[in-house]
Amino acid sequence: MLLAELRQQVLETARKLMVDQLVHGSQGNVSAIDRERGLIAITPSASDYTTMTADDITVIDQHEQIIEGRWRPSIETPLHTLFYQRRPDVGAVIHCHAPYASGFAAALRPIPLVLSEGAACIGHEVPVAPFLPSGTAEFAQVVLETIGQGSAAVLGQHGIVACGVDPRRAYSTIVAVEDNARATIFARLLGVEAPPIPDKVAQSLHQWWLDRYRRTAADA
């Protein structure tokens, strides 16, 4: 089986999305790239994560052609391949419908960084891309323009997307986005607009987080 380890990581990440209630049913999608081979492992379209095995993860090339696998890749494949084309630093991409972050998506509002751990993980306010029909090249283009060199974006009237060097890091960013969205909403319930962590502080926390990750990865 091609990319056996990467397929397993993609599967485990997709299952975590469901267990953590960041998606329902077959929603959302996860991918990771093997840069040396130029191949991408991606969740299949409309498949249930509870019964999925690593064998069900589809392997495609960077032109969206199926290399190995019996299922069509996710409808959001153009978004994933554009990430890998534009961002050589990215090794994994996750899209999901995290409930609190989806409130910001519905309201077309960016998610502020109001918690230090999330700020360290994300490094910037989470910008919002305008609504466009998903699965299209135009949608992918607008999302990449919105996220720039950042690690996450809100997808207007849809959900969120995050990227990272590997599925574990991208997943941490998804969780951080949801934590910040929830904390912002809860603070509003208390009648308070949570003050955002200043950009410079968020950037330095993020740099510390990246350095710590690199050290951990080097020790592994």
| Shortest distance, position 158 Cβ to Zn ion, whole Å | 6
Q: Residue 186's CB: how many other CB atoms inside 10 A?
A: 13
Pairing of β 152-155 and β 128-129: parallel
- What is the rounded distance in angstroms from the CA atom of residue 199 to the CA atom of residue 207? 12
Of the candidate spans 102-110, 122-130, 136-144, 151-159, the one that interacts with Zn ion by CB under 5 A turns out to be 151-159
Q: How would you class 31 by CB atoms within 10 Å of its CB: exposed for 0-12, middle for 13-18, buried for 19 or more?
A: buried
Compose the 156-185 pattern: x for residues touching Zn ion by CB under 5 A, - for all others: ---x--------------------------
Nearest residue to the partner Zn ion, using Cβ: 159
| Shortest distance, position 72 Cβ to Zn ion, whole Å | 16
Of the candidate spans 1-9, 80-88, 154-162, 173-181, the one that interacts with Zn ion by CB under 5 A turns out to be 154-162
Please tell me what DSSP assigns to residue 112. Answer: P
Number of residues that bind Zn ion (CB under 5 A): 1
- What is the rounded distance in angstroms from the CA atom of residue 164 to the CA atom of residue 34? 13
| Shortest distance, position 76 Cβ to Zn ion, whole Å | 7
Q: Which residues bind Zn ion (CB under 5 A)?
A: 159
